[in-house]
Chains A and B, each alone.
Chain A
């Protein structure tokens, strides 16, 4: 393998791709610009909606409003709920006159004295606003119930604590890195797989099917360069471009997460704050783990790049190559999706699965755990598969039926 030839081929592929402004826009600029917009915009939008609904008055229909005790009306009012009399609670919601409505039976006041007084709440399922109003409403009714029960318990000469013989407290036992990482353990491998595929395919398709379609492949193959050097050069260009797109996406994501934390997180309501930190998280990986994470990222990207070259080489035109790559994105996203559920079927041997083992390892690294044995299994299997795919690409590149399939 003569490296100057490999680098010459890789360099030509990179220059050609960089001059394709549409490719650069789609693979480098869009991740850089869109991700921060999504990162900042989505939580702010949702936070704004949550916050506004919490402080503004919500109208709730009430069928039989006059039967509701004044104390309960007051409790609801304190939660910014204004009751409006409606003739039919269910119909009022169906016709979208209100997002939620209470049905208060004629016997409500009488049954309230003995407990288990029935109240029916009508709302449409699936609506975010209806969910928020329901939360406000159930909160107000809970407060009313507690106050009423505690008063009755006191009247009976008992301590209200008898109502809660057990108090369960939940504490987060995860490490600082696990807490800080949010969803990054899953999102970083996801970005690497998806953006390496998106960024790499522009180079891979042009470097294989594009060469055939343009008629430049034959000119390349009559030079003294060896076919292995051609394949490795094209693979390196695909890897570099794919990895760059993935890194740009990750940097954009982390930067916007950090910016969101600095500027807005304190101002968001509780739910929006949780959502924002779960989306963003913050990478608190140090020392050797950074190197291990980078090495894993390069391996994962190499696997995707080798797969792209091996697959697109078979196509005789750009269009055909694109049709081969489209299903690949589905295949490659599957292990990333499975990563989210890995704790349900976790086994040490899973680290030996090519690609999936590396995804597990990256998840561990982002969450601050690392076991050398798992890492060696993960790296070894991914490296092996990437080498196998490259070998397959090279053997295809030596086949006349593949090269001259026009």
Chain B
């Protein structure tokens, strides 16, 4: 479960997130939709305990992100587009290293690596150094690293950015697989097609504000258009008119 109430964040004197509220139920794939600079990454970083909110509160699992950050981090797995790997470690060494940081024993990590190899097809990436990885191999290890400790809640932040068709498809299938296994997924993207394919509900962010939320169908209905992309533009234009 994820609960976000009147969340706000200011960098210096510049507000980047204002009064954002939403809730995600267990087993749900919830989309955060918005252009670059909308506040999606800031929201996810607050939920991942990397940033502290300047107003409002957020609860992940049963834990407040400010009061119990360590407990929150045990529950979550994060896949971000900017997240890299250690070039001089192999995929297996990377996973073993992060396994230790999640408090897993070597035996537990090795068993989990076998499971993830079967699920994600890690293959050669396990024994090659990350410096020699293709983009697809890199993304598989990044995903495997995020779910190594079998977290209940997953955050995906522009996780398919820069990936080829096959690698992108692997990520989308993995999100579906995670949700079908009962995990809660918060999926941030600016790609409408991915939201339509994956998300039961979606929140639209623009300029740090939440301008709409609901199922893709209800958003299209609210905007009076036939596609999510057109609904997004219509909702943004309406907000801009109100602001003006």
Contact = CB atoms under 8 A, between A and B. Distances in A.
A400 B51 contact: yes
B49 interface: yes
A8 B48 CA distance: 22
B102 A223 contact: yes
A16 B94 CA distance: 11
18 contacts: A12-B89, A15-B88, A16-B86, A16-B89, A19-B88, A216-B86, A219-B98, A219-B145, A220-B101, A222-B49, A222-B50, A223-B101, A224-B73, A224-B74, A224-B101, A224-B103, A400-B11, A404-B50
Nearest to B75: A224
Interface string B47-69: 01111100000000000000000
A225 interface: yes
A5 interface: yes
A226 interface: yes
Interface string B74-104: 1010101011111111000100011011110
Contacts of B45: 404
A223 B88 contact: no
Interface in A213-236: 214-216, 218-226
B70 interface: yes
Contacts, number: 72
Interface in A368-406: 400-401, 403-404
B178 to A, nearest CB: 17
A288 interface: no
Contacts of A226: 70
A142 interface: no
A224 B100 CA distance: 10
Contact of A219 (B51, B78, B87, B100): B78
A8 B100 contact: yes
Nearest to B12: A401
A78 interface: no
Contacts of B74: 224
Interface string B142-157: 1001100000000000
Contact of A12 (B48, B52, B97): B97
Instruction: Please name the 10 residue pairs, one residue from A and one from B, whose CB atoms are nearest each other, closest first.
Output: A215-B84, A214-B84, A19-B88, A223-B101, A8-B100, A215-B82, A16-B88, A222-B78, A224-B73, A222-B48
Interface string A1-26: 00011001100100110011000000
A8 B101 contact: yes
A8 B82 CA distance: 23
Contacts of A223: 73, 98, 101-102
B52 A214 contact: no
Given A15-B88, A16-B89, A222 B73 contact: yes
B158 to A, nearest CB: 12
Contacts of B146: 219
B41 to A, nearest CB: 10
A202 B182 CA distance: 44
Contacts of B86: 12, 16, 214, 216
Contacts of B52: 400
Contacts of B88: 15-16, 19-20
A4 B88 CA distance: 22
Contacts of A225: 101
Contacts of B78: 218-219, 222
A246 B6 CA distance: 54
* Residue with the highest number of chain A CB atoms closer than 10 Å, among B80, B83, B142: B83
B101 to A, nearest CB: 4
A312 to B, nearest CB: 17
Interface string B218-233: 0000000000000000
A401 B14 CA distance: 13
A339 B36 CA distance: 56
Given A5-B101, A220-B101, 14 more contacts: A9-B101, A12-B89, A16-B88, A19-B88, A216-B85, A216-B86, A219-B142, A222-B48, A222-B76, A223-B98, A224-B70, A224-B101, A226-B70, A401-B11
Contacts of B48: 222
Nearest to B101: A223
A221 to B, nearest CB: 6
> Which of the listed residues B78, B101, B103 has the most CB atoms from chain A within 10 Å of its own CB?
B101
Nearest to B52: A400
Contacts of A224: 70, 73-74, 101-103
B101 A216 contact: no
Contacts of A403: 50
